[in-house]
Every structure is written in C-alpha cells, then in structure tokens.
Homo-oligomer: A and B are copies of this chain.
Amino acid sequence: MKDLKGKALFAQSGGPTAVINASLAGGITEALKNPSITGVLVAANGVYGVLNEVFYDMQKEDEEQLLALKYTPAMAFGSVRCKLSTPEKNSGDLEKILEIFKKYDIKYFFYNGGNDSMDTCDKISSYMKKAGYPVNVIGIPKTIDNDLAETDCCPGYGSAAKYVATSVSEVALDASIYTSPLVIIVEIMGRNAGWLAAAASLSQVSGYGADLVYLPEVPFSAEKFISDVKKVVDKKVHCVVAVSEGIKYENGKYVGDDSSKTDVFGHTALGGVCGYLKSLLTAELGVKCKAIELNILQRCAAHQASKTDADEAYECGRIAVIKATEGETDKMVAIKRTGGQKAEFELVPLNKVANAEKKVPLDWIDEENAWLKKPFFDYALPLIEGENPVVYESGLPKFAKMKKILFKL
C-alpha cells in the first residue's frame, strides 16, 4: 500500500546468527530518517513482545550503538520461538496483533527470521489485509542454515560458513602434529539442509582442512563412512571429518536421533552425532578419535564474521524499509548474486518462502568421495569473503550496548 504514514515495528525471531543484528542496524537507521515513518520500535522477543506490548524506542538509542549492532551477534532485543495458530483454527493472536497495530499506529512491520518466521510474517500480513488494516509487511531473511527458498543465499550463512571453514582449517593443522593416526570429527549445525556442513569443505582452499564431508542430503551409510575414513587414515595418517547434525540413514532415521526430545515446531532436537561416530570408529578401526561439536559457537562467532555477509545483512534491513515505504507488502527481501561479492536485492512473495526448505543440490555433491563439487565452491567462496570490521576494547570485541528504553503511548 502506498503513501502510508505511521510507525515502523521491527521484530526478530528464531535462532541467532552473527549478523542478524546487522539487518536490524540497516533497517533502524533507514527507518529513523524516512519521512513516511513517524516512530521506530523494536518488539522485545519477537511476536512475544508484540502480543505483550513491550516495545523499545529506537529514537532513544545512540547512533554509535546502533552501528555497533553490525558486528554484535545474537538478537539485541531478544528472540522467540513460537508458531502462530492458523487463522482458520484460532485467530486470537492475530486479532490481538491487529488491535495493537491500531493502538500504536503501526503502518510498517518488519519480521527478521528464517522459514518459520516467514510463515508468521505471512500470517500477520494476510490477516491484516483481510481485516482491511493498512500495514506494509516485509520479511527480512536470516539463517545460518541457508535453507530459505527464493533467495540465492541467506544473511548469517556466510559468517557461520567462514567460522566453520576457519575453525576446521585450524583443527586440521592441530590434528597433524603427531605421527600417530588420529581422526577428528567436527559436528556442524543443519537439520535437513547441509549448507553449513558443506562449508567445512571450503577449509581445503587454505591447504589445510576437512578430508570428508557428510550431509543430510545423502543417505548415511555407516559401512561407507568407516571405509572412507580408513582410506584417508591409511593414506594420510590424520583425517578430519565434517558431519552435519542432520545426517540420516536410508530409512530416514537421524543418526543422532533422540526421539524423546522435540522442539515446539515438532523438529527432533539433535545432538550427539559426533559422539556416536567417534565410538563407531574407535570400535571398528581402533583409531584414536576426537569429537568436536561446534555447538552454538558457529552461529554467534561475530569476531569471525564475513564482511560480504554482514554488508548484505545490513542491506536486507535497509532495502526492506525502502521498499515498504514505497508501497510494497507481503514480501521478503531476497538476495540475487550477480558475480563474486556483488549482489542485488529483490522482493519475493512471503508465501513462497514460508515453510519451504532449500537443500544443497544433489549434483553439487560428490557422494562417492564424501565431498563437494566445483559449483558449491563457486557458490560459497564469495560468501565468506572479507573480514567484518570489529571494534575492540581491552582485547575484546566491543559489542553494542542498547539502552532499551520502553516506548509508552
């Protein structure tokens, strides 16, 4: 809808990345100077803050701290994991959001998250349209998983990939110091899409890195795995294996499955894959083995963020505001890579992104050698290019400190 005038509301959702705050920085700084926007609010903890009317006033924040968000990991104003009920079943939440949008004169709503969040964003947008309330709703992508549809890549992925590739390269150097055989298994996040585990292969560009990479896209065979590792150890003595937490057997069962734990979206909570593979190799090959779970380190390592990624995350936030004030709604900002570190930004319909999941193309995977093919390297190397500048104080990153002053009507 064109010529809307009112407040802009930002909210973030899902798991953090090293650069999701960069999107917020881009969005807020643009919104603060935009003539169509009369006030800039950020909801505490995503839709939770929206439903509970906990809003922070961005006009009260220092510009220096807003810019420091560009290299501050996690969500400066909190996140949430909750799925709105569908309007058909229960529109209570959506009704409440409509009332709150009216009450606070919210005319621009920006939701920053992964595919679950784009679903939330889509639901809010559709409900507002049906109710006849004028608000432009734009989704801002983020996820280290890189699994969002309709965009060439996702902000957050490049930085996590850079951290993974750097760490695996360092680990490979560490693994090589003794003369005795050693296998190091590095477990990397990624529930169904292997993008981040695949990034471990980039380490080899430095000359030191992973030897084998296992992704959820290819059914896992314990026999082949043992034989792959044996071949590397026989040839090179040391072997570095990268595995996705989401690797599955032919029958679809997760290798690291613990079916007693599921998250609120019904996904199985994973973990322990590397521990299992370590005991498997120790038993079958009698080789010394170390298991490293990169855990949440890989999604919050802002000190090793990719400049390409951080800049694109910032731009996604900025473009979202520009496009919304130009009248666009019900879209997500998508990245279209145009060669090397260059990218353009476009809008794609939210409902095409919501709950869809993009996996690593099978023809990019060298299944036989548990490795990635050239198209993956061509795709991923530009995304890890450049070191995001971090300001240091007393030897540590000087992360943003927000005032978090509550907005009151």
Interface set of A (CB-CB < 8 Å, partner B) = 16, 45, 48, 72-75, 78-81, 162, 165-167, 169-171, 173-174, 176-179, 184, 202-203, 205-208, 290, 292-293, 295-297, 299-304, 306, 381, 384-387, 392-399, 401
Contacts and interface: CB of A to CB of B under 8 A. Distances in A.
B170 A401 contact: no
B304 A304 contact: yes
Given A174-B300, A381-B395, 15 more contacts: A16-B174, A45-B177, A78-B177, A79-B177, A165-B395, A165-B396, A166-B303, A166-B397, A170-B297, A170-B397, A202-B395, A206-B396, A206-B398, A292-B296, A292-B297
A40 to B, nearest CB: 21
A103 B401 CA distance: 64
B79 A178 contact: yes
A184 B290 CA distance: 22
Nearest to A204: B396
A399 B177 contact: no
- The 7 A-B residue pairs whose C-beta atoms are closest, nearest first, are A384-B395, A74-B173, A174-B300, A79-B177, A170-B300, A206-B396, A385-B395
A82 B169 CA distance: 26
B290 A171 contact: no
27 contacts: A16-B174, A45-B178, A74-B177, A75-B177, A79-B177, A162-B395, A162-B396, A165-B395, A166-B303, A166-B396, A167-B301, A169-B396, A170-B297, A170-B302, A171-B296, A174-B296, A174-B300, A206-B397, A207-B399, A208-B399, A290-B295, A292-B295, A304-B304, A306-B395, A381-B394, A384-B396, A387-B392
Contacts of A207: 399, 401
A399 to B, nearest CB: 6
A209 to B, nearest CB: 9
A206 B399 contact: yes
Contacts of A395: 162, 165, 202, 306, 381, 384-386
Nearest to A390: B387
A81 B178 contact: yes
A296 B290 contact: yes
- Which of A81, A171, A401 gathers the greatest number of chain B CB atoms within 10 Å? A171
Contact of A171 (B167, B300, B381): B300
Contacts of A203: 396
Nearest to A377: B394
A258 B179 CA distance: 25
B177 A16 contact: yes
Contact of A397 (B169, B385, B397): B169
Contacts of A170: 73-74, 297, 300-303, 397
A295 B185 CA distance: 12
Nearest to A304: B303
Given A169-B399, A296-B292, A395-B162, A174 B208 contact: no
Given A78-B178, A178-B80, A173 B397 contact: no
A381 B394 CA distance: 7
A384 B395 CA distance: 5
Nearest to A309: B395
A32 to B, nearest CB: 23
A182 to B, nearest CB: 11
A399 B394 CA distance: 26
A32 B189 CA distance: 46
Contact of A73 (B174, B179, B384): B174
